């Protein structure tokens, strides 16, 4: 039986450098440039995607590294044939909604079912190894605790932020693998700006014509939060930290926490990604190598394919961290909306554009 509650209201992801960039891109789930020193780029594609027991659509993103002229840029793979099959032979074709981003249409993942990703792109065929959605434990309790730190300038004891914890229970059978994830949603005030003839934003912000939320995802090696039940099989998992909330405005900070049940192969993949991102490049570090995923090129087995297509059991909860009574704040100034013009004309507004970082869909546990 769960005893947590949704709390209150707030206002509001080779050479070592290049592999680290790929890791960050996989973690953030986005197409993003990163800083690379070596111009040589090995051939291959990057695949990002998963299917879960939550409602779809599920998204698969396909990119390929640009050539040396555009070092650090990953280009979308367009007009590919992408589909998912299950162990019963059912097939769902994915539709390309934006360049390189393929969405399911009606598929709903089920616990216990096995799924496989298939790709036909650039005259080649790719296929993931089968993955089964595992059952996921309930989150029994969620809570936060503030912590203190030392200001390096004044050497004074100050509020450092909040840590969010969960309690859950590992099932009796062995071989369970976990990953915890967190996403922060903040209601957006502005959805656009005046731009010059080259498309660069200039002074003048446009309000949002509809409800809009910024999506802030946790990135970096510390955000790959993994565990297995080798030492805790069948026992309670207590005080598992799942998120850290910074000092900010005196408001209520909305989070969605995911508890994921992974396959052993997915756990090993994300553990490798985490180790690679933590690698400092020192003389005693392990030599960087390609992180093994679960996708191969059927046409050319020697081709590098980066990424992982997972089948994941997900338990999701919403939570508010109450920052209203904090003894310290670090709130960015809010720009007022432009006043109405002559004759009571409303200020200019723009629509909220759906992306990895913005949505018009009300967060699942949002409470106004």
Q: In which residue ranges of the chain is pLDDT below 50?
A: 1-17, 30-41, 68-71, 283, 285-288, 342
Q: Identify the pLDDT of residue 10.
A: 37
Q: List the one residue out of 288, 334, 336 whose CA is nearest residue 14.
A: 288
HEC profile for 240-282? EEEEEECCCCCCEEEEEEEEEEECHHHHHHHHHHHHHHHCCCC
CB 178 within 8 A of CB 270: no
For 130-157, what is each residue's pLDDT tens digit?
A: 999 999 999 999 999 999 999 999 999 9
Whether the link from the prior residue into 57 is cis, omega within 30° of 0, is: yes
Number of alpha carbons in the 13 Å side-chain half-sphere of residue 213? 20
Ordered by start, the domain boundaries in the chain are 16-359
Q: Identify the pLDDT of residue 283.
A: 47
Angle (CA) 134-135-137 rounded to 5° is: 135
The CB density around residue 143, as the number of other CB atoms within 10 Å, is 14
Q: Identify the pLDDT of residue 339.
A: 54
Rounded to the nearest angstrom, the gap between the alpha carbon of residue 216 and the centroid of all alpha carbons in its chain is 9
CB 105 within 8 A of CB 57: yes
Beta pairing class for 124-128 and 131-132: unpaired
Q: List the one residue out of 87, 86, 80, 135 whose CA is nearest residue 107.
A: 86
CB 115 within 8 A of CB 86: yes
At a CB cut-off of 8 Å and minimum separation 6, what does 152 contact?
none
Rg over alpha carbons for the chain, rounded to the nearest Å, is 22
């Amino acid at each position: 039986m769960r005893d947590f509650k949704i709390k209150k209201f707030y206002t509001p992801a080779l050479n070592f450098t290049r592999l680290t960039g790929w890791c960050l891109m996989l973690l953030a789930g986005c197409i993003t440039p990163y800083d690379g020193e070596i111009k040589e780029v090995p051939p291959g594609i990057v695949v990002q995607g998963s299917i879960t027991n939550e409602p779809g659509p599920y998204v698969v993103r396909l990119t390929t590294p640009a050539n040396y002229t555009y070092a650090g840029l990953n280009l979308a793979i367009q007009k590919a044939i992408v589909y998912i099959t299950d162990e019963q032979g059912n097939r769902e074709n994915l539709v390309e909604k934006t360049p390189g981003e393929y969405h399911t249409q009606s598929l709903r993942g089920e616990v216990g079912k096995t799924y496989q990703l298939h790709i036909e792109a650039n005259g080649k065929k790719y296929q993931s190894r089968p993955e089964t959605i595992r059952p996921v434990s309930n989150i029994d309790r969620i809570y936060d605790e503030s912590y203190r730190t030392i200001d390096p300038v004044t050497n004074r004891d100050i509020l450092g932020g909040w840590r969010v914890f969960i309690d859950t229970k590992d099932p009796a059978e062995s071989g369970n693998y976990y990953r915890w994830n967190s996403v922060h949603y903040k209601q957006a005030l502005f959805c656009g700006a005046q731009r010059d003839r080259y498309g660069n934003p200039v002074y003048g912000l446009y309000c949002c014509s509809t409800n809009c939320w910024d999506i802030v995802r946790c990135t970096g090696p510390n955000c790959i939060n993994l565990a297995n039940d080798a030492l805790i099989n069948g026992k309670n998992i207590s005080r598992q930290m799942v998120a850290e909330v910074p000092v900010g405005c005196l408001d209520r900070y909305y989070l969605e926490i995911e508890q994921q049940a992974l396959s052993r192969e997915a756990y090993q993949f994300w553990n490798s990604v985490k180790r690679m991102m933590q690698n400092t490049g020192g003389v005693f570090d392990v030599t960087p190598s390609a992180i093994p995923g679960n996708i191969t090129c059927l046409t050319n087995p020697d081709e590098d394919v980066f990424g992982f297509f997972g089948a994941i059991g997900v338990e999701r909860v919403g939570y508010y961290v109450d920052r209203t009574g904090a003894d310290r704040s670090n709130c960015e100034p809010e720009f007022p909306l432009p006043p109405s013009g002559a004759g009571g004309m409303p200020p200019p507004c723009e629509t909220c554009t759906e992306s990895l970082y913005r949505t018009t869909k009300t967060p699942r546990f949002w409470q106004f």
